[in-house]
A and B are shown apart, each in its own frame.
Chain A
Amino acid sequence: MTRSTTQAVATAVTPGWTAAPGQYTRWDWRAAANFVGGGTGAGMLLAATLFAPSTASYRVQAGLGLAIVAIGLLCIMAKLGRPARALNIFRHAKGSWMTREGFAMPTLFGCGALSLWQPAIGAMAVIATLSALVFLYCQARILNDAKGIPAWSIAEIVPLIVVTGLAEGAGLAVATTAFVPDVPTAGGIVLLVAALVLRHVAWRRYRAALVRADAPAAALAALAAHARRWLPAGDGLPLLLAFAGVLLGGTAGVVAVAAGGVLAALGGWAFKVTLLTRAGHYRPKSVSLAAGLARARARS
């Protein structure tokens, strides 16, 4: 038997304790919802502020973006052991990305809400968008600091989480134009296409880095299953629909782009649910005991 196939044995005294990589399950779909909310909301605010076809469209996109961030936060509040102490999260700005994420909220929601009542897209929208991007970046760094869990803490997670959020938000933003009704701007479609391409590049780099880092096999398998289902439907198809929409033009074009946008958002959400609820495996600990013994013996 090789070192990589070393098997761990749980004991009766410590049920569930095994030296093989365990899965972290305390962060469930509610935690995933917070990451969905932060990413989609930031992407929608960015798309709305830069490329909304009209002030009416801006209000729909930004309003929806703010609501999605808020829903994500409510979900994570429901997961806190002691929600009554939630304000304690502001105590560690020097070290914790969770605290920093919290500090992005007042300007995100305050300026975001004010921007909905402005006659034109202006400073309030810009401040809210910048806050949302900071919020999203903090979420990426929260995962990056989860040092016990390779699929979350690997450095390549940061760009992946950021561009995934932008793709989700840009997708939903163009989709809303079909309901306002309005026509997506060229800028909005370019943002969606660019975010999708970047998401695909970031995904490939992330997967390659995880394999190189010898991440737990169960986490790799969960991510591979996600890729099989969602890379064609969440990245490829939205790109095709976006191009088809541009070529078709008119109502059919708007519908095609909107459908592509929805799929792009769904692909991102599915990834986050997989990442948080199925790929959160700890580092393998078992390797260390025998490896430590072998190293110590080699030194003596």
Chain B
Amino acid sequence: MRWGMTIDLQRCTGCYGCVIACKQEHSTPSGIHFRRMLFEEVGEYPTARRIHAPVQCNHCAEPPCVPVCPTRATYQRDDGLVLVDSGQCIGCGYCMTACPYEHRHYVDYAAGHFDDCVTPHEARGGEAGHDWVAKQDTVVKCTFCEHRLARAKGTALVPGVDREVTPACVNTCPSEAMVFGDLDDPDSHVSRLIRERNGFPLLPEAGTKPSVFYLPADVMLDADT
């Protein structure tokens, strides 16, 4: 079992729905986005274009952020999730230097987004129930919504199929650009998509073996101009 995701760049419109859904689910402190939109400009006038992709922690199969952590606060689960035990983290920031994707975030400031109050949603730590005050001065990252995956235990619910146990970003996408599932199962939807659509990870040269794959879009690249 290794959880993974495909993001179909042909379908993704760059609407930021997943970015906001993630923010809502985790109620991350100001300035911290577990999911972001990566834009890249290709070509030049008059045929310049922007291509984009939502990005997040890749829950790499060979994550360089795990071995470096001196406290073992960062660890990899058997199902492939790379998580941080904030109770152990000393906030040394070493893992942030090891992630080539810049997907680890230091919690400088855990208070809410408003000067005069903390909203009930912020106080709850979003749907994920993070205790952001306890996580102040530690490093955090995307959890692949492990709190949702955990709800599947002992039930017939299947992550990637049933909304209750599927990551919030996947649920929210209006163009169904994302599929979540088991990369170890060659017959899973994600595995088939990667095979059939030539799915590719970001920065393969970093040797991290990401679990997030992008399905190519029919866009013009430099070579086409």
Q: In this assembly, does B156 line the interface, its C-beta being within 8 Å of a C-beta of chain A? A: no
Given known pairs A19-B38, A27-B97, A285-B202, the reply for A294 and B71 (CB within 8 Å) is no
Decide: A86 and B39 in contact? CB cutoff 8 A. Answer: no
CB within 8 Å of B: which of A136-150? 142, 145-149
Which residue of chain A has its CB nearest to the CB of B196?
A300
The interface residues of chain B lying within 8 Å CB-to-CB of A247 are none
Which of B87-95, B124-132, B159-167, B168-176 interfaces with chain A? B87-95
- CB nearest to B66 among chain A residues: A95
Knowing A17-B33, A89-B92, say if A96 contacts B70 (CB, 8 Å): yes
With A6-B40, A7-B41, A286-B40 given, is the CB distance from A85 to B221 under 8 Å? no
B98 CB-CB contact with A under 8 Å: yes
Please, which residues of chain B bring their CB within 8 A of the CB of A86? 90
Residues of chain A within 8 A of B102, CB atoms compared: 22, 148, 282, 285
If A1-B43, A19-B40, A24-B97 touch, whether A283 touches B90 (CB-CB below 8 Å) is no
DSSP majority for the B interface?
Answer: loop
CB distance B98 to A145 under 8 Å?
A: yes
Chain A residues 261-292 with CB under 8 Å of chain B are 280, 282-283, 285-286, 288-290, 292
| Distance in angstroms between the alpha carbons of A280 and B51 in the assembled complex | 27
- Pick from B88, B94, B97: contact of A91, CB below 8 A: B88
Chain B neighbourhood of A88, CB < 8 A: 70-71, 73, 88, 90
Most B Cβ at <10 Å: residue of A89, A152, A280, A290: A290
Contact of B216 with A148 in the complex, beta carbons under 8 Å: no
Partner of A292, one of B90, B91, B97, B202: B202
| Interface residues in A57-108 (C-beta closer than 8 Å to B) | 79-83, 85-86, 88-92, 95-99, 102
Q: Which residues from B are CB-within-8-Å of A6? A: 40-42, 222
- The segment out of A8-16, A41-49, A110-118, A189-197 that lies at the interface is A8-16
**B92: contacting residue among A80, A90, A285, CB under 8 A:** A80
A interface footprint on B73-114 (CB within 8 Å = 1, 0 otherwise): 100000000000000111111101111111000110000000
Contacts of A1 in B (CB 8 A): 41-44, 48, 222
Would B198 and A296 count as touching, CB distance under 8 A?
yes
In Å, the complex CA distance between A152 and B89 comes to 23
Whether B70 and A293, one on each chain, are in contact in the complex, defined by CB atoms closer than 8 angstroms, is no
CA distance A229 to B36 in the complex (A): 39
A10-B64 Cα distance, complex, nearest whole Å: 26
State the total of A-B contacts with C-beta under 8 angstroms: 196
A205 within 8 A of B: no
Selected contact of B90 from candidates A9, A80, A142, CB within 8 Å: A80
Q: Which of A26, A91, A98, A288 has the most CB of B within 10 A?
A: A288
Find the B residue at minimum CB distance from A10: B39
A9 close to B68 (CB less than 8 A):
no
Kindly list chain B residues whose C-beta atoms are within 8 Å of the C-beta of A96. Answer: 67-70, 94
Cβ-defined contact, A292 with B214, below 8 A: yes
Contacts of A228 in B (CB 8 A): none
Report A-chain residues with C-beta under 8 Å of the C-beta of B50: 9
Question: Is the beta-carbon distance between B198 and A81 smaller than 8 angstroms?
Answer: no
A145 in contact with B100 (CB, 8 Å):
no
Q: Is B9 an interface residue (CB 8 A)?
A: yes
Known A-B contacts: A292-B201, A297-B198. Give 18 more (CB < 8 A). Answer: A9-B39, A13-B19, A24-B96, A81-B91, A82-B89, A82-B90, A91-B72, A92-B67, A96-B70, A96-B94, A98-B94, A147-B97, A147-B100, A280-B97, A283-B203, A289-B40, A296-B200, A300-B216
Interface check A3, CB cutoff 8 A: yes
Pick from A15, A82, A86, A286 the residue with the most CB of B within 10 Å: A82
